[in-house]
Amino acid sequence: MARSRNEAERSCSCGRRCLGPMTFNSEVLGRHVTLSRGACRATRDAHSFRHGLVFSSRPVRVGEKVCIRVERCILAWHGALRIGFTTVPPGSRHLPSLAIPDLTDKPGYCAQPVSESACKPGSEVRFWMTSRAKLCYQASGRTYCMQTDMDLSQQPLWAMIDVYGQTSTVLLLGSVKKGIFQCRTSCPAPVNPPTSSECGYLDVPESLQRPENNRVEDEQWKPDMAAGHVCVVCLSNSAAVTVRCGHRCMCFGCATRVISELEACPLCRHPL
């Protein structure tokens, strides 16, 4: 059971300017995630692009910016990190495989994808919820906001991260909340700048280099064939169409048919 924000703050003795400890919830994890570095580093098994959900260990405030660093990536998959929030206390040990759309189709959840270009090794992302229920994030020097229908009037708010697609390892750097007269931060102390040994691209496992052998949980999922970005529908033409969920996975001909008939991404089933 997740602790309340007040309980988390009482366990900290850093002073009034401290927002309380900020780590990942070590009891509520996606099936392919492991935690390290005091539950601040989340690593997803590179053989899968999904089951990478993690949550903050405590509720966060409206306007509190959660800061993460992308450490490891693998170019075997489409898409990258997804970030969001939930008013549903993270309490289930059996999480769905994806934040979008598995959780965002349910009330009390919101998330959006971060572009692959903003999720390269060493990149830092900050995300927060505004008082008007806008989910915002900063990456690569730009700010992006998405209006949500979240009810922020009463329920606590937890940060939610999907270590998805090309993103395989993220480090939780903490959080910060700027006020009129002071700036409050979480503890422990800020993390040192990354080293070359901590951030970089992983080698693509041999099993993912052969699409016919890439089977995850009895379902056939095609990896990103980095040399040509092949359409996952026809497996012959170049994938040139990027759909709403962030996947560039279809050629123009297949995209027209999939959008009209399936109305969902062929990779993650996100509505188009």
Please count the structural domains in the chain: 2
How many whole angstroms separate alpha carbon 78 and alpha carbon 249?
8
Per-residue pLDDT tens over the stretch 69-92: 999 999 888 889 999 999 999 986
How many whole angstroms separate alpha carbon 90 and alpha carbon 80?
22
Residue 264 backbone zone (phi > 0: left; psi -120 to 50: alpha; other: beta): beta
Q: What CATH number has the domain bearing residue 187?
A: 2.60.120.920
178: which 2 tokens? 């700027």
User: Residue 267 falls within a domain, yes or no?
Assistant: no
Query: Within this chain, do residues 9 and 118 fall inside the same structural domain, yes or no?
Result: yes
| Cα 44 to chain centroid, rounded | 11
- Give the residue from 201, 226, 247 where a domain finishes: 201
Residue range of the domain that includes 229: 207-261
Query: Within this chain, do residues 188 and 214 fall inside the same structural domain, yes or no?
Result: no
How many whole angstroms separate alpha carbon 131 and alpha carbon 109?
16
* Highest-scoring range by mean pLDDT, 11-20, 40-49, 176-185, 263-272: 40-49
User: Residue 135 falls within a domain, yes or no?
Assistant: yes
User: Residue 270 falls within a domain, yes or no?
Assistant: no
Query: Within this chain, do residues 48 and 173 fall inside the same structural domain, yes or no?
Result: yes
Instruction: Judge whether 54 and 161 are in contact, CB under 8 Å.
Output: yes
Query: Within this chain, do residues 228 and 98 fall inside the same structural domain, yes or no?
Result: no
- List, as own/partner pairs, every contact residues 1-5 make where C-beta atoms lie below 8 angstroms and the sequence separation is at least 24, other chains included: 1/89, 1/91, 2/28, 2/55, 2/57, 2/58, 2/59, 2/89, 2/90, 2/91, 2/158, 3/57, 3/58, 4/58, 4/59, 4/156, 5/58, 5/59, 5/60, 5/61, 5/156
Q: Using pLDDT thresholds of 50, 70 and 90, give the confidence band for residue 261.
A: low
* pTM metric for this prediction: 0.73
How many whole angstroms separate alpha carbon 87 and alpha carbon 161?
14
User: Residue 180 falls within a domain, yes or no?
Assistant: yes
Query: Within this chain, do residues 31 and 105 fall inside the same structural domain, yes or no?
Result: yes
- Least trusted range by pLDDT, from 3-12, 155-164, 231-240: 3-12
Query: Within this chain, do residues 238 and 120 fall inside the same structural domain, yes or no?
Result: no
How many whole angstroms separate alpha carbon 170 and alpha carbon 73?
9
Closest C-alpha among 93, 110, 92 to residue 101 = 110
Query: Within this chain, do residues 157 and 174 fall inside the same structural domain, yes or no?
Result: yes
Q: Using pLDDT thresholds of 50, 70 and 90, give the confidence band for residue 263.
A: confident
Query: Within this chain, do residues 193 and 112 fall inside the same structural domain, yes or no?
Result: yes
* Neighbour tally for 269: CB within 10 Å: 16
Query: Within this chain, do residues 153 and 228 fall inside the same structural domain, yes or no?
Result: no
Per-residue pLDDT tens over the stretch 156-206: 999 999 999 999 999 999 999 887 777 888 876 556 666 667 899 998 877
